[in-house]
Chains A and B, each alone.
Chain A
Amino acid sequence: MNVIEVNNVSMKYRLATEKVDSIKQYLIKKAKRELHYEDFYALNEISFSVAKGEVFGIIGLNGAGKSTLLKIISGILKPTTGSIKVSGKIAPLIELGAGFNGDLSGIENIYLNGLILGYSKKMIKSKIEEIVEFSELGKFIHTPIKNYSSGMKARLGFSIATIVQPEILIVDEVLSVGDIKFKEKSEKKILSMMEQGATILFVSHSLGQIEKLCERVVWLEGGRVRKIGHTKEIIEEYKKITLNN
């Protein structure tokens, strides 16, 4: 059974040759017919599917469209054409702690961030101790978050995002959260989620990590699928071609 199906997805951006953000400018340019746009395809006719329980990697150079693809799958962006079918609850570990408010305390932010991730209030209440414990913030949990270090924020974000066993986990280079100790702990957590049957989409520039974790990989290049298949073959070819250039 496929939990993620991506069908012919294209993402077109209209790049204005100049930035127009005031009504006056817009009207003048419009009247003079000086509004020019350039089409730019961040993704072009992407199709693939991911089966339940699979660990699926996405590789490609910077600007290949990896992040755009993740954003489309997690529903932040709508594709220009094509369709996406996702069945199951997604935990996007793309941007940890999105929506943290500096003036609120750690506890208050757990509620806010948890609700943003789509948890119910009751659920968060029952898990709050577990979150605090995993984040190792201890007594700082009642301090306004603006006084946290970036590592503390990331730890809290990670702890909130991984508190439920998701059906689909999107991981975008976040295994590098916090210090070595926490990094190990977070890797362990992700591995345990994998064992419990979560489908995982994994984006990383570390080919070692990809080889270790993923069964299949899609290789994006310039917004198109260059190749899709078993990790070993693709990584080999990817290494050969990107390193030669």
Chain B
Amino acid sequence: MKKLADLVIKLGNVDRRWIFVIIAIVVMYPLFKPLGLPIRPTESSLQVYNAIDALPEGSKILLSCEYGPSTKPEIHPMTVGVLRHLFENGHKVYVTCLWPDGQFMAREALEQVAENEYDRTYGEDYVLLGFRPGNEAVIKGIVSDIRKMYTIDSRGIPIDKIPMMEEVKNIYDLDFIFCASAGYPGTVEWVQLAADPTGIPMSTGVTSIQVNEVMPYVDAGQIRGILAGMPGAAEYEALIGKAGIATSGMDAQSIAHIVIVLFIIFGNIAFYLERQRSKKTF
């Protein structure tokens, strides 16, 4: 028993770089050899799906992209998944960005889904209004008069020459907001300045680290569901029946979580044994 305790204590003090190597291996392995672990949608992801699915055909949806390359693995699959769902149901999509990098992410997602997969027409089925600096002020501008913020779109086309902008003066002319957010400005600001004051329904997809901050809005009914990090994106892919990059990353995510939990348990046991031993020494 003493030998086992010695071993546990010794392993508990192992160089942290070995832990990095183990995490790297367990994350990499499922990427090369997928395990096909099942993905079951959670209640919050289901809420997002139902909210979007219930919109009548031809609804006008504002999709705001507040993320960049650093959070792309978590948020981009959500944007792609939601775009697929929106175009599948024949909605019109208006894309705005409060983050400068968001414009490039949105362009990539639209190119993949709107142009390559659904063959939609720019200006009639979707428009990329693009990035405007100003954070909350941009949201306020969209709420009061979209033309004050956007005189041209991301392609330099005057707003008044875009057919699908004809009937849109401000946010009241839109039917739904979806915010793909990785921080500030993002979901919280859209809730505070757009969804709550106007009553326009809103859903969101956020990074894992933001979930605790945004979840109270979901529980209070201010947001209709939330896609939480990469698992949320994978669940949405499962709901629309189109597996994408989030689904392929979920095996690695699950295995890595198990290993981290084991490390935490093991580390605590080692810490406990070490403390007991030092108590006996004194």
A binds B: no
